[in-house]
């Protein structure tokens, strides 16, 4: 075998190993602990055989990693997998470049890798306008470990990602022990010392997470519980096939979708009534009302569609049993006069992906004249603030990046997409008032249970969820349609995201997925109830019901500081590296082989020292 082919095969083996470890770790992977070594093959690749051609191999690693990690996008369109993988691979290249730069500048290797890994995931989120999806992320696997899940309240889910990357960096140094160059004892000593330090930091991190979970659980259910507990919220999962949903404009398909949701809703409410348990409200997933809901001006222009909108609400009211809740959170497509102005047909107008909050007891028997809309701007059955609109849109799926400047790109997208372009909602919408709550302490002021809506994959954006909490929401409603992605592991990743968001902000998270997951997560990150039928939680018609908890007075450290610590840490590491380079404190001669530039790895290869960051051969 030629030396060149041997080197190529070794590098391909590292790519395959890293991808396999991540696949085993990511939910619903069977080995979530693999996340703690999943970056080790990539770090070894950066210095393999002296680091020759590391850029092209880092880019290939990223393409393969993200293509496999986002393989469920192929159920929408195979091109989406390739497009997302190519764009996100650039973040993998940036990760490798940052690690090599800091290592060459003698910045301690473990913190350098940990911070760069988090900055890579933040960059993934920032470039989602091109790639469409901001994950996979290392933290999804850490949700399987309760103490680490609880520790998300400190530095967000990114704290788990940093720990996983740091342990991977330490593991990558183990390969250096096989080199018999006389420095093995020193490297072993460095690995032991750094391993002890990492174990202490990781132990303290996990301990703080366990303490947080215990504190939250005591506030939820302990003898001195302070969190407000509501009546059960009913979550409907009707399992509507995407093929049927794509035909919702046809009368038969629309009726089948509506009737299935209505059947499950009646079943759930009758069960609760028989158990003498009232319900807080009922939530239907994203766009599961298959007829348009109209903004005020359009209601006046299209009285037929307006009457149908009221007929939908009336039909739900007529079907549900007497004496149960009449409050519904409905996933709808809401039409409005937007940037394109008035159009000839309803479906030609701007459209938002919305969740509307209504009290069906107030819906009249006959639809009122839309011109008599009250001065408040909302009808009696519309509960304030009436609707929440999706803010973060899926590029190429729900909008066309650059389409406003290059119209033919938008026309091409519209020609091939089953989803019309969606108008983003106002990012500063007010939360829904779900219910009043008693005082935290006797004699105190009454509290309110308020909910913010994160539609579909908005749940993957910590900043979006944190913004709702800052505006007073103590419950997050994730109305989603994950039928697009088939019977894959993607719903398990959504559930992991829900648990991480709950722990980060100490809020309840309700996931209402058309085909799953559908569950209620308490503020500690524990799943309290989930939709299930015949032992299955995915791709089955089912429902679940359970309370949500609201604890407005409890604020996590992550809620207070957000992601700022990671940017500060990155700036500090970069500043240290630049300062050391300016002062001429480059890597030692031991790091550079004959003829190699200062600070580069030895042509003999090797991985960075676990403490100093210097490559060892």
| Coil/strand/helix, residue 335 | strand
* Paired strand residues for 350: 336
**70, 236, 338, 565, 608 from 83: Cα distances, Å:** 11, 33, 30, 31, 32
Higher pLDDT pick, 252 / 232: 232
Quick one: which H or E segment has residue 436? strand 432-437
Whole-number Å distance between alpha carbons of 10 and 151? 37
Length of the chain measured in residues: 617
* Paired strand residues for 530: 519
Residue 209: pLDDT above 90? yes
Whole-number Å distance between alpha carbons of 47 and 54? 7
Residues 74-108: pLDDT tens digits?
988 888 899 899 999 999 999 999 999 999 999 99
Residue 519, pLDDT score: 98
Which range among 146-150, 269-273, 409-413 shows the weakest confidence by mean pLDDT?
409-413
Nearest CA among 26, 15, 20, 28 for reference residue 58: 15
Place of tokens 């393969």: 64
Using omega within 30 degrees of 0 as the cis cutoff, is the peptide bond preceding 527 cis?
no
Confidence of residue 601 (pLDDT cuts 50, 70, 90): very low
Residue 300: pLDDT above 50? yes
Residue 603: pLDDT above 50? no
Residues 315-347: pLDDT tens digits?
999 999 999 999 999 999 999 998 888 988 998
Residue 417, pLDDT score: 66
Higher pLDDT pick, 608 / 536: 536
Residues 501-537: pLDDT tens digits?
999 999 999 999 999 999 999 999 999 999 999 999 9
Q: What average pLDDT score do residues 243-269 get? A: 90
pTM to 2 decimals? 0.92
Confidence of residue 492 (pLDDT cuts 50, 70, 90): very high
Higher pLDDT pick, 403 / 257: 257
Residue 467: pLDDT above 90? yes
Q: CA geometry: angle at 131 spanning 169 and 156, to 5°? A: 50
Residues 258-267: pLDDT tens digits?
999 999 999 9
Whole-number Å distance between alpha carbons of 321 and 273? 9
Whole-number Å distance between alpha carbons of 81 and 69? 9
| Coil/strand/helix, residue 357 | strand
Mean pLDDT in the chain?
90
Q: What average pLDDT score do residues 393-411 get? A: 73
Residue 394, pLDDT score: 84
Whole-number Å distance between alpha carbons of 573 and 557? 23
Confidence of residue 609 (pLDDT cuts 50, 70, 90): low
Per-state percent for the chain, helix, strand, coil, to nearest 5: 50, 15, 35
What kind of fold does domain 228-391+426-553 have according to CATH?
Nitrilase/N-carbamoyl-D-aminoacid amidohydrolase (3.60.110)
């Amino acid at each position: 075998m030629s030396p060149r082919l041997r080197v190529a095969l070794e590098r391909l083996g590292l790519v395959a190993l890293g991808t396999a470890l991540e696949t085993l770790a990511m939910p619903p992977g069977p080995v979530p602990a693999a996340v703690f070594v999943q970056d080790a093959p990539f770090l070894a690749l950066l210095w393999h055989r002296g680091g020759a051609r590391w850029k092209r191999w880092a880019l290939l690693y990223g393409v393969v990693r993200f293509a496999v990690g986002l393989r469920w996008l192929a159920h929408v369109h195979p091109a989406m997998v390739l497009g997302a993988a190519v764009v996100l691979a650039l973040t993998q290249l940036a990760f490798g470049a940052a690690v090599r730069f800091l290592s060459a500048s003698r910045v301690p290797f473990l913190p350098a890798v940990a911070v760069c890994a988090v900055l890579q995931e933040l960059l993934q989120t920032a470039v989602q306008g091109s790639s469409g999806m901001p994950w996979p992320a290392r933290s999804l696997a850490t949700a399987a470990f309760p103490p680490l899940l609880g520790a998300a309240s400190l530095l967000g889910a990114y704290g788990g990602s940093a720990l996983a990357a740091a342990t991977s960096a330490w593991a990558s140094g183990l390969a250096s022990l096989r080199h018999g160059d006389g420095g093995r004892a020193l490297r072993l000593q460095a690995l032991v010392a750094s391993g002890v330090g990492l174990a202490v930091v990781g132990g303290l991190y996990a301990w703080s997470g366990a303490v947080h979970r215990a504190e939250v659980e005591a506030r939820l259910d302990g003898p001195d519980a302070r969190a407000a507990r509501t009546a059960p919220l009913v979550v409907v999962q009707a399992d509507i096939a995407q093929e049927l949903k794509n035909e919702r404009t046809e009368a038969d398909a629309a009726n089948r979708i509506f009737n299935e949701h209505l059947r499950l809703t009646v079943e759930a409410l009758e069960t609760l009534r028989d158990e003498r348990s009232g319900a807080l409200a009922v939530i239907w997933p994203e766009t599961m009302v298959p007829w348009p809901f109209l903004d005020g001006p359009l209601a006046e222009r299209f009285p037929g569609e307006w009457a149908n909108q009221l007929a939908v609400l009336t039909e739900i009211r007529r079907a549900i049993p007497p004496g149960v809740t009449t409050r519904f959170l409905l996933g709808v497509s809401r039409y409005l006069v937007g940037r394109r102005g008035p159009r000839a047909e309803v479906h030609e107008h701007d459209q938002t992906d919305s969740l509307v909050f209504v009290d069906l007891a107030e819906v009249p028997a006959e639809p009122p004249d839309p011109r008599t809309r009250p001065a408040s701007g909302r009808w009696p059955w519309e509960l304030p603030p009436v609707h929440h609109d999706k803010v973060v849109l899926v590029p190429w799926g729900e909008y066309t990046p650059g389409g406003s400047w290059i119209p033919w790109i938008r026309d091409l997208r519209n020609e091939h997409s089953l989803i019309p372009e969606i108008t983003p909602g106002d990012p500063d919408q007010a939360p829904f008032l779900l219910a009043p709550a008693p005082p935290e302490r006797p004699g105190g002021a009454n509290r309110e249970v308020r909910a913010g809506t994160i539609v579909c994959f908005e749940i993957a954006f910590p900043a979006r969820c944190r913004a709702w909490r800052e505006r007073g929401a103590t419950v997050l409603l994730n109305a989603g349609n994950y039928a697009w992605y088939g019977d894959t592991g993607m719903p398990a990743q959504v559930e992991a995201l829900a648990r991480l968001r709950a722990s980060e902000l100490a809020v309840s998270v309700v996931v209402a997925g058309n085909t799953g997951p559908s569950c209620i997560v308490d503020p500690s990150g524990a799943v309290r109830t989930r939709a299930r039928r015949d032992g299955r939680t995915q791709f089955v018609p089912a429902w679940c019901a359970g309370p949500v908890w609201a604890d407005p007075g409890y604020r996590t450290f992550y809620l207070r500081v957000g992601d700022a610590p990671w940017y500060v840490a990155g700036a500090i590491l970069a500043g240290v590296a630049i300062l050391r380079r300016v002062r001429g404190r480059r890597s030692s001669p031991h790091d550079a082989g004959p003829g190699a530039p200062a600070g580069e790895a030895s042509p003999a290869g090797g991985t960075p020292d676990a403490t100093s960051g210097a490559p060892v051969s």
